[in-house]
Amino acid sequence: MPFYETLLSETQHERESLFSLPLIQAGASGQVSLPAYVAFLTEAYHHVKHTVPLLMLCGAKLPERYEWLREAVAEYIEEELGHQEWILNDINACGADAETVRNGQAGVATEMMVAYAYDMINRVNPIGFFGMVLVLEGTSVALATKAGDSLQNSLGLPNKAFSYLTSHGSLDVGHTEFYEGLVNKIEDKEERTLLIHSAKNFYKLYGDIFRDLGSRFIPTNTSPSTLQQVAA
């Protein structure tokens, strides 16, 4: 079995746990309020702004035997430049103050996920960072486009309020195929084990962002039957 398939199999439980969170299900079915959507974009800004710095750090920390992977990281960097500004533009289009978000603080869950990513690269092994790539890009492919369409219909906002969600849903399809080819070339058993371990942790950490947001915006008495729709 190719390692990418093993990675998906070993992280299936964590992925399903993330996709089953009430706020994610609500977003996929268009049952999220405008303040909740802006709060989601706010947290997205505060982790997406670290994507390029993290990729740069990862590329710098990779050993020479991973020169082929460093070159791939350079391609990722080119693709990811400026995406945090897309999010700020979306926030403006929602009628919120993007500059307040830019100058504000991330939530604790977002801080923890970003901190774990830097720690993984600096202290453990830069290969572990690709667990974060799996989680964020895989979630985009599975959920972003559907959530964007559903929320636009329910909130009545213009296209320019959904550039982050709609662009990432389609853009990350190509990224996922690229990612699959990369991880299949990782042969070291310990690094494969580490990548699975980090991906499991990143699913939990990313999920914590939605758990925190859900505790603020999803009523505790919401019936599960009203939150049945989730992306396959």
- pLDDT tens-digit profile of 53-101? 999 999 999 999 999 999 999 999 998 999 999 999 999 999 999 999 9
Question: What are 5-19's pLDDT values in tens digits?
Answer: 999 999 999 999 999
Which residues have C-beta within 8 Å of that of residue 12, sequence separation ≥ 6?
none
User: What average pLDDT does this structure show over 128-157?
Assistant: 86
Task: Indicate the Cα dihedral angle 72, 76, 79, 85, nearest 10°.
Answer: -160
Q: Are 76 and 137 in contact (CB under 8 A)?
A: no
- The pLDDT of residue 230: 35
pTM above 0.95, yes or no: no
Grade residue 143 by pLDDT with cuts at 50, 70 and 90. Answer: confident
Domains of the chain listed by start with CATH number: 32-217 (1.20.910.10)
Percent of the chain with pLDDT over 70: 90
Question: From CA 113, how far away is CA 125, in angstroms rounded?
Answer: 16
**Residue among 150, 148, 52, 49 nearest 101 (CA):** 49
pLDDT at 220 exceeding the cut of 90 = no
Average pLDDT over all residues of the chain: 89
